[in-house]
Structure 1
Amino acid sequence: MRKVSYYLLLALVATSVIGCGGSKTAQQDDDDMVEQKQRAPEFYALAEKINKGGGVAEVAFAESEREDFAEQKAIIEAQRLISQRYETKIAGLTKRFAEEVSGNTSAGGAEINELFSNTVKASTKTVLQGATKLKPPKTFKSKKSGKFTCYVVYGIDPDNLNQSIMDQAKTNPKLYERFRASQAFQDLQKEMEAYDGQ
C-alpha cells in the first residue's frame, strides 16, 4: 500500500512538473529576511478568498539550489497542505453528523467513522488530482546563498470537493439517507449553492 501511494505521488509530481513551464526567470531578492507572505501577497489573498468560499486552496514555498527542484518541492508541499485541510473538513463534517444523528460521537460511531474514513481514503486521490495551479509560480533567487525560493498557489473547486464527499457517502444507502436528513448535509448543500451563485 505504501509503495502504491509513493508511486501515485511520484506520478502526480511528474505530471505537475511537465505541465509547469519554467520560462520565467527568477527575481533577484535584495533582502533575504523579507517575511514570506510579503513575497507573494496576491497568492495568500487568493487562497484566503477561495477558503472562505468553501473551497480549499493553499500557498506553499520551497527552497533549493535548482529552480526546478524548488518548484517541485513547493508543489508537493501545496498538495500536502490541501490534503491536510481536506481531511480536517471531513473530520468536522463527521463530528457534526455523528452528534446530530447519535447525540454524541461514540453512539453508532463505528458505522459513521467507517463511512467518513472511506470517504477520505477514496476521495483524497481524486481531490488532489483536481488540485490546479491558480497562478504561475513565483521564484526568487537569493543574492547571498544563490538558492531559489519558489511560491505556488494550488486550489480545488468546492464543487469537486463537496461532490467527492457526496459520491462516497452514497455507497452506504442507509447511512446516506440519515446523512441527507442531517444539518451537516444541509450545510454542505448551502456551501455548494453559494459557490455556484458566485
Structure 2
Amino acid sequence: MRTLSFTAIAVLATVTLFGCGSASQSMQSADAGAIPDWFTSIPKDPAVFYAANTQVSQDLQLAIDKATQGARTEISRMVETKITGLQARFTEETGTANNAQLLDMFTQANKSVVASSLTGSRVSKQKQMKDGNNWRAYVLVEYPTGAASAALAQRIKANDDLYTRFRASQTFKELDDEVKKYEESKKQ
C-alpha cells in the first residue's frame, strides 16, 4: 500500500512539474517582423480619418472584433476633436459663447455625429496571426472626413436657429465646401 501511495505521489509531482514548465514556453509573442507596415505607419490623408488597433484573444473572431472596436473608438475621438474645434471657431466668430441653448444644440449634434462615425467607418485592412496559444488581429479602420462633416451639417440644418446662425459664418462655408468635395468623391 505504501508503494502505491508513493508511486501516486511521484506521478502527481512529475505531472505538476512538467505542466508548469511547458506553460511558459507555449505563450510566445508574435514575430515583430510580422507586424503590418500600415500598422506601424498609419496612412495620412486629409480626406480620411485612419486608426489602427491590435487585440489578442483565444477566439479569432473576438480578436478581430475587439481590434475593430478599438480603432473605431479612436476614430470617434478624432471626429469629436474636429467638431469641438469647429464649435470653438463658430462661437468665437459669432460671439455666442454665452448662449447655453445654442451650445447645447451643438453638443447634441456633436454626439450624434460621433455615434454615426462608428457605424459609417469601415475596416480597410486587416491581418491575423497566431500569437502563442492566442490569435492576434491587426486592423486599419477608415472614415471619410467628409462623411463626418456631412453628418454634422445635416444635424445642424435640422435645427433652424442653429442653422441660421451657423450658415452666416466662415466656419460653415468651410464645412459646406468639405461636404461638397465628399459628395463629389462619392460620385466617382
How does the TM-score come out when normalised to structure 1? 0.68
Q: Which of 135, 140, 143 is 1:148 aligned to?
A: 135
Say yes or no: does 1:117 pair with 2:107: yes
- Equivalence map 1:25-174=2 (5 Å): 32=30, 34=32, 39-42=35-38, 47-49=43-45, 52-53=46-47, 55-102=48-95, 106-108=97-99, 110-135=100-125, 137-142=126-131, 145-174=132-161
Point out the structure with max Rg over C-alpha.
Answer: 2
Gaps of 5+ in 1: 1-29
Is the 1:98–1:112 contact (alpha carbons within 8 Å) kept by the matching residues of 2? no
CA distance in 2, matches of 1:180, 1:130: 25
Q: Which has the higher helix share?
A: 2
Listed one character per residue, the Cα deviations across residues 170-195 of structure 1 (whole Å, up to 9, x for unaligned) are 12212212211112112212323444
1:33 shift after superposition: 6.5
Q: How many residues in Structure 1 have an aligned counterpart in Structure 2? A: 158
What SS is found at the alignment partner of 2:133? coil
CA distance in 1, matches of 2:115, 2:56: 26
Listed one character per residue, the Cα deviations across residues 116-154 of structure 1 (whole Å, up to 9, x for unaligned) are 21112323333322111223x201223xx3322211112
Q: Percent identity?
A: 28
Residue 106 of structure 1 aligns to which amino acid in structure 2? A
Partner residue in 1 for 2:22: none
CA distance in 2, matches of 1:91, 1:112: 14
Partner residue in 2 for 1:20: none
Gaps of 5+ in 2: 1-27
Partner residue in 2 for 1:14: none
CA distance in 2, matches of 1:46, 1:190: 26
1:43 shift after superposition: 5.2
How does the TM-score come out when normalised to structure 2? 0.71
CA distance in 2, matches of 1:63, 1:128: 21
